[in-house]
Structure formats: structure tokens, C-alpha cells
Amino acid sequence: MNTHEVYSSRERVVRALYREPVDRVPINYLANAGIDRRLKDHFKLAPHSDEALLRTLQVDFRELSLPYIGKPLHQSKEERRVDPEWGIVCRWVEHEHGGYWDYCDFPLQDLTHEQVESWPMPPPDDYDYKLLREQARTWKDLALYFGNPGLGDILNTTGMWCSMENVYVALAEENEAWLRLVDRRLAVQLAQMERSLEVLKGRIDFIWMGEDLGAQIGPLISKEMFRRIIRPRHQKFIDLATIYNVPVMMHSCGSSSWAFDDFIEMGIVAVDTLQPEAALMDPGYLKAKYGNHLALHGGFSTAGSVVSGSLEAVLKELEMLLDIMMEGGGYLFSPTHLLQDNSSLENVLAVYQALPKVGRY
């Protein structure tokens, strides 16, 4: 597939999502705070110069931000970070490369009906939808997406309130209080998405949803359970996007290709994050089995040579991935989930410096 056209970032991403010819592979960037800070230091950028870094790395994607402007619904706690919108609680955990905020305390772990019904959730009206228009004007030639792997997510997000153990028990038992919690949260997100699609009618390029369905060696839940509990709830988001003629990309970590046939039936056009180390997630397997039906976003391992390999090794890994994924189109480059804090700065720089050239058709 050779093209002499030069596309804008927006055109490039949308065409790749629909598996149409592009000039080069669209480039995305996802990273933890540590490696992000080191990249900004390398380019002599200020700590909050996110846009400058994305432009330096030639990133084609921008996430639309929908800021909450209502009153805080949940109070802060000492030595904890509490989300004022949703009440999810985190504590800081140190590790040898820095640290991260991990979920704790689990305020809804008892999963009583009284807890779930009284838990404050943000009204969809309490967001600044006008800011979406400003972002669209600022990023007029870039590919804009609404959502992220947390949009529509059921298992992970309720686990932040209840603990993952309780979530899987509740899923197996079809616990009514847990299902009510799921539906209350999704109703808010669906309303936010509808308002955003209406405000930016014709300018949101894709919807990004998520649901982690796989461990490293296989599914986390049965296909029957997915079809009974999760799929109908996700379908509401996809149907809404379809009304506005906006494609949907679904995120899932781990071994999740077992659900891809369902994704196709549901109307999903692209999948992310494509961890190559997980079972049945090898790039060659995914491209051969699903490349004619789904666009593929991700696949560049954040646990491979980018961490401790040589420059030669990381560039070889990149070229092997692109050789497979670029065939026939429909590939969008991204790290699998986030580049981790233990990533080699030199290797990350080498990857993003090489991409515009080696990713060209």
C-alpha cells in the first residue's frame, strides 16, 4: 500500500480506524509520570508542558477533557487522595523507580443497597461542556477522542470502590446492589458522552471505551458472563456513538482476543492495548485473525526491550511490530497501556524518533 498523499493527524487516525490507506502509521503516546518527566527534561520543557511534548513526539491523538465544575461530593482524608467527584480513595506506594497511587479503603466494600443508593455521584450537568469547543478549536487538525479506558468500564472501576475480590464475587452472584452501582455510574457516563457528542457534533473522531477482560494466560471471566452482564451495558455506548456516526475503540488488557468476535458484532471498529506477552495476543496472530475486521491500536510492549534492551534491540522490536501490523493498513501505534517509569529514556526517544520514518507507507 503506497500513498503519495500527506494527511493531517485527524485524517490519518480516522482513515486508519476504518482500515483505509494512510501516509504513515498514526502515533500515540501513553506514559507514567516518571518517564514523562524525563522526556520533558530531555527536551528542556516545563513539567506541565504536555502539549509541547506531544507535538515534539509527533503524536496525532488528543483526549478531550471534560472538567468537573460542581461542588466536591467527597471529603479529603489525611494521607489519602480522595476523588472529589466519585469518592475513590488512593494511597501513595513507593517503588524503586518512583511510586504510584494505589486504590485502598474501599468505601463500598459491604455492597449494601443503602450504601449504593446514597453514594454521591456527579450530575451530568456539572461539567464544562463549553470547554470542549475551545479544545476543538485549539486542536483543529488533530484527532480528538472522547473517553479513555475508563469509559464504560465496569470491573476495574467498581473494584476501586469495592475491591476486586468483591467485584468478581458480585459478578458471579449477580449481586443486585453491585449491578445498581454499575448502572448508576454508567448512566452518568452515558449522559456525559451524549452531551459531548451533541456539543461537538461532527468533531469527535472516535470514542475510547474500556474493560479489562484478560489475565496474562487467559480470560478473567467467561464468555457467557461477558455476554449476559457486560455486553448489553457496553452496547448502549456503541449505539449512541453510531447515532452520531462516530467509531468506537475498545481497550482491554491481557489475553482478551477471545472477546474480539463479540466486539465486531457489537459494532466496535478498533481494539487496544494488545499486550504481546499475553496468551493469543501475538501481533502476527491478531493481524491474521482480526486484521480484516478490526483496526489495531497498541502492541508495542512496555515490558520488552524498551525497558532494558539495547538501542538496536528496541528498534528491531519496533520494526518487527510494524512489519506485521502495517500490512494492509488499519494499525495505530501505541505502547501497551503506559510506558513505565523503568523505561530507558534513550530507548523511548529512539522509538519516537524512528516512527515517522519506519512507519511510513
What is the arithmetic mean of pLDDT over 94-109?
92
The domain that contains 115 carries what CATH number?
3.20.20.210
Asked whether residue 132 carries a pLDDT value surpassing 60, the answer given is: yes
- Please report where in the chains the cell 458471579 appears, as a residue: 172
The pLDDT score that the predictor gives to residue 96 is 85
State the total domains in the chain: 1
Q: Is residue 2 domain-resident?
A: no
Q: Is residue 4 domain-resident?
A: no
- How many Cα atoms within 13 Å fall on the side-chain side of residue 151? 27
104 exposed, middle or buried (CB, 10 Å; 0-12, 13-18, 19+)? middle
294 exposed, middle or buried (CB, 10 Å; 0-12, 13-18, 19+)? buried
The pLDDT score that the predictor gives to residue 90 is 98
CA angle 174, 166, 183 (to 5 degrees): 50
- The distance in angstroms from the start CA to the end CA of the chain is 7
pLDDT (tens digit per residue) in 18-35: 999 999 999 999 999 999
Q: Look over the chain and give the mean of its residue pLDDT values, rounded to a whole number.
A: 97
Reported as a pLDDT band with limits 50, 70 and 90, residue 60 is: very high
Is beta strand 331-332 parallel, antiparallel or unpaired with respect to 143-147? unpaired
- Please report where in the chains the cell 476501586 appears, as a residue: 160
DSSP H/E element including 90: strand 89-95
Q: All 3 cell numbers of residue 89?
A: 480513595
The pLDDT score that the predictor gives to residue 218 is 97
Asked whether residue 327 carries a pLDDT value surpassing 80, the answer given is: yes
The pLDDT score that the predictor gives to residue 43 is 98
What is the arithmetic mean of pLDDT over 192-218?
97
Reported as a pLDDT band with limits 50, 70 and 90, residue 95 is: confident
Asked whether residue 3 carries a pLDDT value surpassing 70, the answer given is: no
| Helices assigned H by DSSP within 121-259 | 130-138, 155-162, 164-173, 176-199, 223-225, 231-243
Q: Is residue 39 domain-resident?
A: yes
Torsion of CA 285, 286, 287, 292, to 10 degrees: 130
Q: Is residue 3 domain-resident?
A: no
pLDDT (tens digit per residue) in 176-189: 999 999 999 999 99
Range of the domain at 316: 9-358
Q: Is residue 257 domain-resident?
A: yes
The amino acid that residue 57 corresponds to is: L
The pLDDT score that the predictor gives to residue 1 is 57
